[in-house]
A and B are shown apart, each in its own frame.
Chain A
């Protein structure tokens, strides 16, 4: 079941690790130092922040789609993919929020900016946490899977509304702080570094989700074997 893909998964993890090393070099050596306004050295955290946030969103999309398929088609595999995505996505979002705060404080003198992206990131992070917690509180594993799937789907359905509401609210209240991601035009090396980081994180996402999904599959197989032996 899982052993066939193991080679592919290990290769993926290897590629991800390699890309990450290259990315680190790019971020700290290759990319030019940013201006005073953007925080100078601290700005480099931008190359972690943006991909993390973006991959968090992608994780959420994957989890939501997998959840829909799971509820309608009932294949266990889909629940595992959704679960793995949620776990990996939670980590990405946590990194995004942390890096966002670390960068925002010296540059904007606030720990957090409730702009559209920030609000969306935070909200989805909470939904993911709810997703994982509801599984642990469910009386049976099957119910937990179903409840979690519902949570993910509701989160996804709410995203466009959150986006619109946060956008209108921002228009009403805050002076439009262009969020950390909207930098106008990025110079060549910065742009390249950002793109490479995005690629790195994307591969990392795929590798981690594949690995975790397989792991969950193995855990389920063990449970099934246990049950068969006992009967």
Chain B
């Protein structure tokens, strides 16, 4: 897969250790650890504001960590961010599509930005993969959310990424869209790539993932590797009240009023 630099675990698609990130006074991520091998997928659960999006965006190199190491496909996020960007695909809350261009024009633009050869055929193929060929010639502005999401997924897959990062991809998708999502994730994994999916859909996440991780207030509060982990257990972990605040010595005490 990758040939470079790091001595530690070059076969890991994602290797995150001790990741911490704060925005001003708010600690968004605290000491997060996560490892994912190629061909595997991880479901990320957590309440709103738990840090799921921050974690995903850190993996995309859009956010720089304050502390800890983040390695994707063996590349370090601080010194080799550009290499990471060439091997990751991202589907976030915003479609990253230009409203006044057509899906076809959007994908051709991104194909050029990613330096992909045979852009014309590649784009047609990608559009067909997500079932968007029929509206590929209409402006994105007039498409429904579900249609836009499909094109956004096509955009993320255009350059055959090694790691696919999805942030609540189920939003706006109808049944057909959800099936497409499942098919895409499965195909991506079969191709030897990895998927990280932050989601509120616990069943959806568990169905598509080998690993699951629950974030709460920036911390990992539960990890499970078994695909048969019960939905109830995850729900419980997600809904559990935020942890008591630790004192400076590291002991947990009931949270003092702030």
Contacts and interface: CB of A to CB of B under 8 A. Distances in A.
Are chains A and B touching directly in their complex (CB below 8 angstroms)? yes
Interface of A: 140-141, 223, 226-231
13 contacts: A140-B24, A141-B24, A223-B25, A226-B25, A227-B22, A227-B25, A228-B248, A229-B245, A229-B248, A230-B25, A230-B27, A231-B27, A231-B246
Nearest to B246: A231
Nearest to B27: A231
Interface of B: 20, 22-25, 27, 30, 218, 245-246, 248
Nearest to B247: A229
A140 B246 CA distance: 26
Contact of A140 (B23, B30, B218, B245): B23
A223 B25 CA distance: 7
A227 B22 CA distance: 8
A227 B27 contact: yes
Contacts of A229: 245, 248
Contacts of A228: 248
Nearest to A223: B25
Give the secondary structure class of B's interface: strand
Contacts of A227: 22, 25, 27
B46 to A, nearest CB: 16
Contacts of B27: 227, 230-231
A223 B66 CA distance: 14
A141 B246 CA distance: 26
A226 B22 CA distance: 11
Nearest to A139: B23
Nearest to B219: A231
A229 B246 CA distance: 7
A231 B252 CA distance: 11
Nearest to A141: B24
Which of A141, A227, A228 is the most central at the interface, judged by chain B CB atoms within 10 Å of its CB? A227
Contacts of A231: 20, 27, 30, 218, 246
Closest 5 CB pairs of A and B: A231-B27, A231-B30, A227-B22, A227-B27, A140-B23
Which of B22, B25, B245, B248 is the most central at the interface, judged by chain A CB atoms within 10 Å of its CB? B22
A44 to B, nearest CB: 48
Contacts of B218: 231
Given A141-B24, A226-B25, 12 more contacts: A140-B23, A140-B24, A227-B25, A227-B27, A228-B248, A229-B245, A229-B248, A230-B27, A230-B245, A231-B27, A231-B30, A231-B246
A140 to B, nearest CB: 6
B5 to A, nearest CB: 21
A141 B245 CA distance: 25
Contacts of B24: 140-141
Contacts of B245: 229-230
B221 to A, nearest CB: 14
A228 B248 CA distance: 8
A14 B25 CA distance: 36
A223 B22 CA distance: 11
A226 B246 CA distance: 12
Contacts of A140: 23-24
Contacts of B248: 228-229
Which of A140, A141, A231 is the most central at the interface, judged by chain B CB atoms within 10 Å of its CB? A231
A68 B204 CA distance: 50
Nearest to B31: A231
A227 B23 CA distance: 10
A171 to B, nearest CB: 49
Nearest to A228: B248
A65 to B, nearest CB: 25
A75 to B, nearest CB: 15
B196 to A, nearest CB: 23
Nearest to A142: B64
B10 to A, nearest CB: 28
A228 B20 CA distance: 11
Contacts of B23: 140
B19 to A, nearest CB: 13
